[in-house]
Amino acid sequence: MKRKRLIWGVVAVVALGALVGYDLLKTPGQSEQVEIVEEFELQPLIKLPAIGPFDLSVNKAVVYLWITAAVLIVFALLVRRSLRQEPPSRFRVLMELLYALAHDGIVGAVMKSGRATWFPYIAGAFFFVLTANLIGLIPLPFAHHHQLGFYTATANLYVTLALALCTFVFTHFAGLRQNRGRYFINWAPSSAPPVLKQLIWVIHSVSEVFRLVSLAVRLFANMLAGHAILAVFFAMALIFQSVLAALVLQGASVLIYMFEIFVAFIQAFIFAILSAVYIGGALDQEH
Amino acid sequence: MDAESAKLLAAGISMGVGSIGPALGLGMLISKALESIARQPEVAGEIRTNMFIGIGVTEAVALYAFVIALILIFVA
């Protein structure tokens, strides 16, 4: 019974996608030129004067970040209100599941000490990245002329680099606060011979920089690649100009869409868990 | 071969060759993780968490190739 319902649900979603694709095909004229690259270009929506080197204009990424922040604030208020309800509502149970995932699955599984201190940051990063990723999957009308409207704040290297910089700064802040002056000395094992020790220290400091880069680029490239594939599949129906191709490609793009929901979740999880690993590593140095 | 087509070719090759290593790595990683879950189902949660960390780190290698391909096409 349940399985039958699931199958019908998938069929309905595919049919809906095909219908949208067919509808898009029928609108004549502007459908020949679909530029996928333009999706990820940032043009100012509200022009503001620049202060020094900082351009304060509001563009798509800023609007998406605003929406993410607003959604998170609304959810926080709703969760606070639902805590008073007895018996617990479905919404509250779902939120408690997510909280338990952040508390036991991410922080509890990776960090040894400082769990209570660093849980707020790691859970905050997890929920922020998750919300930003998921909102990016909803087409919102901030696109220029006839674009598809897929964009996510995390498909922008500046946003992900800022998030990764937070983790980078907090890692070294946590390490310095816990281990004081020993923190940088502990980067190389004390048992190693002197020359090797210096070499290990240099390698470790290079790896610290590359942790920052890889944390930013991983999230950025994953979201960019996912949205580019989605845009290509949706645009291909327009390029081929045939109903049959639209039917097949819309079905395929619905499946990719489901996969992207999974990727959005996994990437938020990986971002949070790597932040926890880095901060935990700085707190409990082995050497 | 002019510069434009060389760029496109290089982007394609970098993506293709760059995916070989991560693909092998992901295959090994997941097969080993599944093996150990099958052997010791009681620590499945812990193994799964560590597997996802490994997936994140391994997958990043392919994504570096993707970024290089993008740079070759749109920036260089």
What percent of chain A has a predicted confidence (pLDDT) above 90? Answer: 26
Across the interface, of A221, A267, A269, the residue whose CB is closest to B66 is A221
Task: Give the pLDDT score at B31.
Answer: 96
Place of tokens 């530029």: A35
The string of pLDDT tens digits covering residues B18-66 is 999 999 999 999 999 999 999 999 998 888 888 888 887 888 888 888 8
Q: Kindly report the number of other CB atoms within 10 A of residue A79's CB atom.
A: 16
Given this model, what pLDDT does residue A56 score? 78
What is the chain B residue with the closest CA to A263?
B56
pLDDT tens-digit series, residues A188-216:
887 878 888 888 889 989 989 988 988 99
Measure CA A30 to chain center.
Answer: 32
Cβ-based contacts of A267 with chain B (< 8 Å):
56
Tell me if A110 and B46 make a contact (CB, 8 A cut-off).
no
Count Cβ atoms below 10 Å from residue A218 Cβ, excluding itself. Answer: 23
Report the pLDDT averaged over residues B68-76: 83
Which positions 246-275 of A are in contact with B (Cβ < 8 Å)? 266-267, 269-270, 273-274
Helix (DSSP H) and strand (DSSP E) numbers for chain A: 9, 2
- How far does chain A reach from its first CA to its final CA, in angstroms? 58
In chain A, residues with a C-beta closer than 8 Å to the C-beta of B59 are 218, 222
* Residue B64 at interface with chain A, using a CB cutoff of 8 Å: yes
> Hey, are the CB atoms on A270 and B74 less than 8 Å from each other?
no
For domain B3-75, the question of CATH label 1.20.20.10 is answered with yes
pLDDT band at B13 (very low <50, low <70, confident <90, very high): very high
Closest CB from A37, A109, A218 relative to B46: A109
Please name the residues in contact with A282: beta carbons below 8 A apart, sequence gap of 6 or more.
A171, A172, A174, A175, A178, A179, A183
Q: What is the chain B residue with the closest CA to A107? A: B49
What was the pLDDT predicted at A216?
A: 92
Mutation site for A-interface testing, chosen from B59, B63, B67, B72 by largest number of A Cβ within 10 Å: B63
Nearest to B74 among A37, A220, A274 (CB): A37
Residue A21 in this model has a pLDDT that exceeds 70: no
Choose the most confident range, by mean pLDDT, from A73-87, A155-169, A229-243: A155-169
Out of A220, A225, A270, the one facing B56 most closely (by C-beta) is A270
Q: Which of A214, A224, A277 sits opposite B60 (nearest CB)?
A: A214
Q: Please state the domain extents for chain B.
A: 3-75
- Contact yes or no for A270 and B46 at CB 8 A: no
- Integer Cα distance of B29 and B69 in angstroms: 26
pLDDT of A250 higher than 60: yes
Contact between A270 and B66 using a beta-carbon 8 Å cutoff: no
Is the bond into A87 cis (omega within 30 degrees of 0)?
yes
pLDDT in tens, A28-56: 555 455 566 666 777 777 777 777 777 77
pLDDT, position A66: 92
Contact A190, A119 (CB under 8 A): no
Share of chain A above pLDDT 70, in %: 89
Complex ipTM: 0.74
- Please list every residue in chain A whose beta carbon sits closer than 8 Å to the beta carbon of residue B45: 105, 109
Q: Given pLDDT bands bounded at 50, 70 and 90, which one contains residue B12?
A: very high
The pLDDT tens digits of the residues spanning A150-194 come to 788 888 888 999 999 999 999 999 999 988 888 888 888 878 788
Q: What pLDDT is recorded for position B16? A: 93
Work out the mean pLDDT of chain A and round it to a whole number: 83
- How many other CB atoms are there within 10 angstroms of residue B75's CB atom? 7
Strands (E), chain A: 44-46, 58-59
A273 contacts in chain B (CB < 8 Å): 49, 52-53, 56
Any B CB within 8 A of A283 CB: no
Nearest CA in chain A to B58: A218
